[in-house]
């Protein structure tokens, strides 16, 4: 079985889905002839041509808006936003239209659209090129939010996202693009949306983390009897898996690289408080980035939750 | 022989334009080296090849006129007067940087020089330039906004919204398109239905001109004329400068989308080489004198690198500053 990094795994998912179904089209800035700034769509232009690998102008609003139109007509567009920090001018098309057309049409049609975007910090570029504002999208009814944490799940989740009848925001942690290699099978397999994955079993503390934080969490919990949960899909969230784990361990640490205030960790903490407070042996604690814009270069290492910070927090919660 | 150049500017000013172009080139080529060494991280977009635009245009603007640019803006900042040492330190992410080492390559800013920023979001600067011009007019100050942008930016809604507002309210904005033919790897005619960007201004009743952006004097004269016209009429004007970047979009760009022959063709029109030849031909400076200018520029850049290397990193505490938390 081939060892692939996340860029290759996503490329493979796109290629196989395009081969399987000619309704799948890709559009975005430099995705075609150039192969994408992170080389995710490399080789697809030669294979599928300009009709299905659509190089767009720098018009994020039109990229998403046009993809909504394609999706409503029955195509399966995969739109790429070059960096998550560029998505804001497309916000209106996502929030005001993509998210609502199923409801607005009273389910006479859905919007089977995927918006892919590289996201997250740790590539030593500041702010707009390192955004992790996934919580914005989790706040939107009508869209799903998926964040893979490695090559294998990235491929399987993207396949599910493409086949899903509703709009999916698919956020690819840039720091992981080439960091991890895994066995990724060719051919069909799907990782279901809305289903969390227990990455490591344990009984004394639950740690939930997604995207590039998972890799740090796995290092941080070494030596602890910790259960690690990777939600994979933030919206809709797999509460069942998380609550079952927390009821067992009685402790919860939430780790995300997004800023603290209003981050998705707040939603998790609130729901756990509501559904499982009597099981808790320690306060639910969030490890997140501070409420500032992502800084440059060296400071970003102070900004992002580090292995040490995560371990320190797990330790405090264990000793509580 | 009469000097055509001297009819436009005195010797000293002509040589200053040359010095600024050379300094910009030396600075950018040094950045490439520092990026390769890992001293500059993230995304680095170099200006080599486009120097005539920043240099000619800045010379045509008044000192207090606002400048806004995109993310390929090191030269814009330096030519406007930013200290190369502090710009280099900024790119390194050092505490002595022009933005305390927190903004980096794409977000240079110096309000003291009326340099109102590099913008990493393509097209982000249009409405802000319009707002600055509005405020200047409102305060009855003799100031215009010069808004630089690339050919890729004209397909953002903000371009159209900005041009419309500027003309609707007759605001003093000089729009300068640096058309280098590529938005990253996509040619202008593959992303724009009307690739003659100056013609788009017609849709907003804004007069516009296309000029040779590889010729610093052509840029200077066009911008100077445009600046006077904008001031006199308090109305927007648009200049499309045809130029070329000698390097990739960023240092991460393998640049497979352009042929070597095309790149060579444009390198043969190097704005610095071309201007040096004219200066020599018109006996404004000898080749040796120009070489001395280049050597001095190289020394300034070397000093900037040394300054950046030796500067301290920002304290971790700096993360929490310059924002309310």
Is there a domain that residue B316 lies in? no
The residue-averaged pLDDT of A294-311 equals 92
DSSP string, B223-291: HHHHHHHHHHHT--EEEEEE---SS-SSTT---TTS-HHHHHHHHTT-HHHHHHHHHHHTTSS-HHHHH
For position A137, what pLDDT does the model report?
A: 98
Residues paired with A252 in a beta bridge: A206
pTM of the complete model: 0.94
CB within 8 Å: A55 and B191: yes
Whether chain A has a CB inside 8 Å of the CB on B92: the answer is: yes
Of A126, A290, A302, the CB nearest to B107: A126
Spatial distance between the Cα atoms of A162 and B232, rounded to a whole number of angstroms: 56
**Helices (DSSP H) in chain B: which residue ranges?**
11-36, 51-60, 74-80, 84-92, 125-138, 157-168, 188-191, 197-200, 216-233, 260-267, 271-281, 287-310
For residue A126, what pLDDT band results from cuts at 50, 70 and 90? Answer: confident
Q: Kindly determine whether residue A29 and residue B318, on different chains, have CB atoms separated by under 8 Å.
A: no
User: For residue A122, what pLDDT band results from cuts at 50, 70 and 90?
Assistant: confident
Supply the DSSP symbol for A191.
P
Q: Tell me if B6 is assigned to some domain.
A: no
Quick check: B177 and B151 in contact, CB under 8 A?
Answer: yes
3-state secondary structure of A265: helix
Domain limits at B71? Answer: 11-183+192-306
> Among this protein's residues, is A302 annotated catalytic?
no
Q: Describe chain A by its helix, strand, coil percentages, rounded to 5.
A: 40, 20, 40
Evaluate whether residue B5 is within a structural domain: no
Q: Centre a 10 Å sphere on the Cβ of residue A278 and count the other Cβ atoms it contains.
A: 7
Which of the residue ranges A233-237, B3-7, B273-277 would you say has the lowest mean pLDDT?
B3-7
State the smallest CA–CA distance between residue B59 and chain A in angstroms.
30
Average pLDDT score over residue span A70-79? 97
- Specify whether the CB–CB gap between B37 and B309 falls below 8 A: no
What is the rounded CA–CA span in Å between residue A90 and residue A81?
9
Over chain A, what is the mean pLDDT? Answer: 96
Instruction: Pick the residue from chain A with its C-alpha nearest to B252.
Output: A37
- Which residue does chain A place closest to B157, by CA atoms? A59
pLDDT of residue A157 exceeding 80, the answer is yes
Q: Which residues pair with A228 in a beta bridge?
A: A200, A207
Rounded to an integer, the average pLDDT of B234-238 is 98
For residue A127, the model assigns a pLDDT of: 87
Strand partners of residue A289: A259
Torsion of CA A97, A100, A104, A105, to 10 degrees: 90
How high is the pLDDT of residue B255?
83
pLDDT tens digits, A194-221: 999 999 999 999 999 999 999 999 999 9
pLDDT of residue B1 exceeding 70, the answer is no
Average pLDDT value for residue range A2-23: 97
CB-count burial class (<10 Å; 0-12, 13-18, 19+) for B286: exposed
Tell whether B68 is covered by a domain: yes
Average confidence (pLDDT) over B11-33: 98
Instruction: Measure A148 CA to nearest chain B CA, in Å.
Output: 23
In this complex, do B157 and A61 lie within 8 Å of one another by their Cβ atoms?
Answer: yes
Residue B318 covered by a domain: no
B324 in a structural domain: no
Helix, strand or coil for residue A63? Answer: helix
Mean predicted confidence (pLDDT) in B226-237: 98
Q: How do residues B97-116 score in pLDDT, each as one tens digit? A: 999 999 899 999 999 999 99
Our CA-based measurement puts residue B221 at a distance from the nearest CA of chain A, in whole angstroms, of: 31
Residue linked to tokens 């950045």: B31
CATH number of the domain within which B237 lies: 3.40.50.970
- Across the interface, whether the CB atoms of A299 and B319 are under 8 A apart is answered yes
Q: What is the C-alpha to C-alpha distance for residues B55 and B219, in angstroms, rounded to an integer?
A: 8
Question: Which carries the bigger pLDDT value, residue A2 or residue A191?
Answer: A191
Which residues in chain A (129-158) have CB-CB distances under 8 A to chain B? Answer: 129
**In this structure, are residues A297 and B93 in contact, taking their beta carbons and an 8 Å threshold?**
yes
- pLDDT at res. A242: 98
Tell me the chain A residues in contact with residue B122 when contact means C-beta distances shorter than 8 Å.
58, 86
What is the rounded average pLDDT of the residues B301-312?
98
Interface of B with A in 152-171 (CB under 8 A): 152-153, 155-158
> Which domains does chain A possess?
3-183 (3.40.50.970), 197-318 (3.40.50.920)
pLDDT-based confidence at residue B325 (cuts at 50, 70, 90): low
Pairing of strands B145-150, B66-69: parallel
Q: Is B287 near chain A, with CB under 8 Å?
A: no
Confidence of residue B254 (pLDDT cuts 50, 70, 90): confident
Q: How far apart are the first and last CA of chain B?
A: 66
CA B190 remoteness from chain centre = 24
**Cβ contacts of B101 on chain A, cutoff 8 Å:** 296-297, 299
Catalytic residue among A97, A129, A139, A293: A129
Return the pLDDT at B256.
84
* Chain A (254-313) residues lying within 8 Å, Cβ to Cβ, of chain B: 290-293, 295-299, 302-303
How much is the pLDDT for A125?
Answer: 85
In B, which residues are within 8 Å of A62 by CB distance? 155
Q: Which one, of A152, A153, A129, A148, lies nearest residue A37 by Cα?
A: A129
Lowest mean pLDDT among A293-302, A304-313, B81-90, B143-152: A293-302
A123 contacts in chain B (CB < 8 Å): 42
* Number of folded domains that form chain B: 1
Where does chain A show beta strands of DSSP type E? 3-4, 24-28, 53-55, 76-80, 114-119, 144-146, 168-173, 182-183, 197-200, 205-209, 226-230, 233-235, 252-259, 285-289
DSSP class of A98: I
- The residues that bridge with A116 in the sheet, in sequence order, are A80, A170
A112 touches chain B (CB under 8 A): no
């Amino acid at each position: 079985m081939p060892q692939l990094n996340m860029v290759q795994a996503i490329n493979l998912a796109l290629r196989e889905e395009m081969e399987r179904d000619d309704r799948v089209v890709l559009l975005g800035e430099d995705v075609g002839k150039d192969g994408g700034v992170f080389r995710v769509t490399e080789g697809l232009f030669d294979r599928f041509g300009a009709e299905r690998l659509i190089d767009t102008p720098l018009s994020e609003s039109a990229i998403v808006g046009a993809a909504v139109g394609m999706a409503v007509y029955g195509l399966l567009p995969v739109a790429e936003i070059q960096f998550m920090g560029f998505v804001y001018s497309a916000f209106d098309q996502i929030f005001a239209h993509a998210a609502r057309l199923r409801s607005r049409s009273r389910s006479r049609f859905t919007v089977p659209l995927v918006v892919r975007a590289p996201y997250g910090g740790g590539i030593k570029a500041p702010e707009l090129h390192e955004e992790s504002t996934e919580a914005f999208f989790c706040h939107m009814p009508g869209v799903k939010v998926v964040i893979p944490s490695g090559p294998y799940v990235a491929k399987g989740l993207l396949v599910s996202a493409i086949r899903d009848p509703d709009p999916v925001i698919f956020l690819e942690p840039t720091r992981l693009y080439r960091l991890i290699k895994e066995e990724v099978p060719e051919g069909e397999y799907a990782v279901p949306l809305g289903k969390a994955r227990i990455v490591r079993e344990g009984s004394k503390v639950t740690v939930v983390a997604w995207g590039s934080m998972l890799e740090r969490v796995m290092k941080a919990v070494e030596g602890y009897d910790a259960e690690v949960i990777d939600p994979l899909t933030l919206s809709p969230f797999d509460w069942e898996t998380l609550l079952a784990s927390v009821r067992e361990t009685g402790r919860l640490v939430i780790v995300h690289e997004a800023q603290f205030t209003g981050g998705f960790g707040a939603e998790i903490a609130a729901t756990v408080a509501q559904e499982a407070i009597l099981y808790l042996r320690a306060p639910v604690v969030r490890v997140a980035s501070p409420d500032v814009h992502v800084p440059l270069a060296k400071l970003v290492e102070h900004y992002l939750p580090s292995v040490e910070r995560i371990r320190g927090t797990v330790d405090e919660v264990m000793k509580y | 022989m009469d000097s055509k150049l001297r009819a436009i500017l005195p010797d000293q000013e002509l040589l200053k334009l040359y010095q600024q172009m050379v300094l910009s080139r030396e600075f950018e080529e040094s950045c490439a080296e520092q990026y390769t060494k890992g001293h500059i991280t993230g995304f680095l977009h170099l200006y080599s090849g486009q120097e005539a635009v920043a240099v000619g245009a800045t010379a045509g603007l008044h000192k207090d006129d606002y400048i806004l640019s995109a993310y390929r803006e090191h030269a814009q900042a330096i030519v406007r007067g930013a200290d190369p040492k502090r710009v280099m330190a900024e790119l390194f992410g050092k505490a002595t940087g022009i933005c305390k080492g927190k903004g980096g390559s794409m977000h240079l800013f110096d309000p003291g020089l009326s340099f109102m920023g590099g913008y990493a979001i393509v097209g982000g600067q249009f409405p802000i330039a319009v707002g600055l011009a509005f405020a200047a007019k409102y305060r009855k100050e003799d100031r215009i906004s010069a808004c630089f942008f690339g050919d890729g930016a004209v397909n953002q809604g903000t371009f159209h919204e900005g041009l419309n507002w500027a003309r609707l309210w007759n605001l003093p904005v000089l729009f300068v398109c640096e058309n280098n033919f590529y938005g990253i790897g996509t040619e202008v005619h593959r992303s724009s239905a009307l690739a003659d960007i100056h013609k788009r201004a017609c849709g907003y009743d804004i007069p516009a001109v296309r000029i040779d952006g590889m010729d610093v004097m052509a840029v200077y004269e066009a911008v100077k004329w445009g600046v006077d016209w904008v001031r006199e009429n308090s109305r927007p004007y648009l200049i499309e400068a045809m130029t070329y970047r000698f390097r990739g979009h960023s240092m991460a760009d393998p640049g497979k989308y352009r042929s070597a022959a095309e790149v060579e063709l444009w390198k043969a029109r190097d704005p610095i080489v071309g201007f040096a030849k004219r200066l020599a031909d018109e006996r404004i400076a000898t080749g040796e004198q120009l070489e001395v200018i280049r050597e001095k520029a190289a020394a300034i850049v070397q000093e900037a690198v040394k300054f950046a290397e030796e500067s301290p990193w920002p304290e971790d505490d700096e993360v929490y500053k310059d924002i309310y938390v």
